[in-house]
Amino acid sequence: MRLSPLAFSLLPLAAAAHTLAAPPPAAPSDLPPGVAVVKAAAIADKIEHAPPSPGGRGGVIAQDEGYRVHVSERDVPGQAELHDGDTDVWYVMAGGATVVMGGTIVDSSVSGTGEHRGPSIRGGTDLAIAAGDVITIRPGVAHWVKSVDGRLRYMVVKVHTHPAPPGAK
């Protein structure tokens, strides 16, 4: 199909009319209940201004009774962990690492309700992760950031199998 020169001259006018007819984007105060938006600048700010903790820094950026979203940046390994009631969904935003999935936590101790930690994992599977990867970890599966390739920035969505009690972290 060939367009006439007149049709080509009308294309910019049609595009402008479509743009003008589109509704403006919603302001956060206009969103319906149950919808939260965390802007990229707030995510970066949470990481940049969080006090350092063992293995990294970051914090919670959104939560509700059924989930919690946490952002982290680390340049060293962390502790091995296992959650009795949370599924972790990781999204690697930048960098890379080797994580160990499965196996048994060495010298495991209870670090909170349904939370187990230890220095490493015995018998798990090494997995290389990189920017853009999504990793899901069901409750009861041990996992550990064993080594970091420079710096790892990632987001974790913790989906509660049973909603966490108020104030749970």
Q: What confidence tens digit (pLDDT) does each residue in 135-160 have?
A: 999 999 999 999 999 999 999 999 99
Q: How do the domains of the chain map onto residue ranges?
A: 32-160
Residue 29 or 31, more confident: 31
The distance of Cα 165 from the centroid of its chain, to the nearest Å, equals 21
- Average confidence (pLDDT) over 34-38: 90
The distance of Cα 133 from the centroid of its chain, to the nearest Å, equals 11
- What Rg, from alpha-carbon coordinates, does the chain have? 22
Give percent of the chain with pLDDT exceeding 90: 67
Residue 125 or 6, more confident: 125
Q: What pLDDT is recorded for position 51?
A: 87
Cα separation, 114 vs 168, in Å, equals 10
Strand ranges for 51-142 from DSSP E? 57-64, 67-74, 80-83, 86-101, 104-106, 109-112, 115-118, 120-122, 125-130, 134-137
Residue 102 scores a pLDDT above 80: yes
Residue 119 scores a pLDDT above 80: yes
The structural architecture, per CATH, of the domain 32-160 is: Sandwich (2.60)
Give the SS3 label for residue 55: coil
pTM: 0.76
Give the SS3 label for residue 35: coil
Confidence of residue 34 (pLDDT cuts 50, 70, 90): confident
- Average confidence (pLDDT) over 85-98: 97
Question: Rounded to the nearest 5°, which phi and psi values hold at 17?
Answer: -65, -40
- pLDDT mean across residues, the chain: 85
Q: What pLDDT is recorded for position 14?
A: 53
Confidence of residue 31 (pLDDT cuts 50, 70, 90): confident
Confidence of residue 69 (pLDDT cuts 50, 70, 90): very high
